Amino acid sequence: MDLSELTLVELGEQNLDIEFFDCGRDDINDFFRNDAKNYQDELFGKTYFFCLSNKPKRIVAAFTVANASIFTKHLPNSRRRKIGYEVHHEKGLVNYPAVLLGRLGVDKEFRGNHIGAQILEFVAGWFSSDENFSGCRHLIVDAYNEKELIEFYQKSGLELFFSTEDQELTYRNWDIEKDGPLQTRLMFRDLILLKRPSIR
């Protein structure tokens, strides 16, 4: 199934069968059903749906995007270089503009069609295009800390910020005793590679 066969709908644009949407993860279903509208009203993130063109209320996939930034000041040097690879600005930036893919879900019925991967590509293209109103160097996700999910994002060109959980615990000031195991892992994709693929 190709994304171009589906219709992109912005939250609030038309009535959709949100109650039938099931990506298999309750918290994400719950977000799209109950929280996305308020979230959008508060300007925290915008939600979009890909729907079947012949059944326009049927949601195939949903995602939420928000402006974000990568603050590099407290990153180890090696990590800072990785984020600012081939940056022409003399010393790199302290803050790199980014887009955060805050939520992503593909309905269980449509799994295995590369819809999720195509959405990652779509968002990357969207935010790095000349039509984007602001600068956006990276696509970032805060992925559930599950091996398969991390592999899913890696297949789409996202990399872990930190190669080990220990490094990430330190950077995020995460106290395992108090906060429990690290639940998510930060990942990024440098969108400059879409414009200048030859640099790597």
Ligand X SMILES: CC(C)(COP(=O)(O)OP(=O)(O)OC[C@H]1O[C@@H](n2cnc3c(N)ncnc32)[C@H](O)[C@@H]1OP(=O)(O)O)[C@@H](O)C(=O)NCCC(=O)NCCS
Q: Which residue's CB atom is positioned nearest to ligand X?
A: 116
28 lies in the binding site for ligand X (CB under 6 A) = yes
Query: Can you tell me which of 23, 75, 100, 139 binds ligand X, judged by CB under 6 A?
Result: 23
Closest CB 152 distance from ligand X, rounded Å: 4
Closer residue to ligand X (CB): 125 or 135: 125
Query: What does the alpha-carbon distance between residue 95 and residue 113 come to, in Å, rounded to a whole number?
Result: 36
User: CB atoms < 10 A from the CB of 158, how many?
Assistant: 23
169 lies in the binding site for ligand X (CB under 6 A) = no
Number of residues that bind ligand X (CB under 6 A): 21
Residue 129's nearest CA partner among 155, 99, 157 is 99
Query: Can you tell me which of 112, 180, 181, 197 binds ligand X, judged by CB under 6 A?
Result: 112
33 lies in the binding site for ligand X (CB under 6 A) = no
Closer residue to ligand X (CB): 37 or 114: 114
Closest CB 108 distance from ligand X, rounded Å: 8
Query: Can you tell me which of 10, 13, 14, 25 binds ligand X, judged by CB under 6 A?
Result: 25
Closest CB 149 distance from ligand X, rounded Å: 6
59 lies in the binding site for ligand X (CB under 6 A) = no
DSSP the chain: --GGGEEEEETTSS---GGG---S-HHHHHIIIIIHHHHHHTTS-EEEEEEESSSTT-EEEEEEEEEEEEE-TTS-HHHHHHHTTT--STT--SEEEEEEEEEEEE-GGGTTSSHHHHHHHHHHHHHHSTT-SS---EEEEEEES-HHHHHHHHHTT-EES-SSHHHHHHHTT--HHHH-S--EEEEEEETHHHH-GGG-
Query: Can you tell me which of 1, 87, 149, 186 binds ligand X, judged by CB under 6 A?
Result: 149
As a whole number of Å, the CA-based R_g of the chain is 18
Closest CB 153 distance from ligand X, rounded Å: 8
Closer residue to ligand X (CB): 55 or 111: 111
Q: Which residues bind ligand X (CB under 6 A)?
A: 23-25, 28, 104-106, 111-117, 143-144, 148-149, 151-152, 155
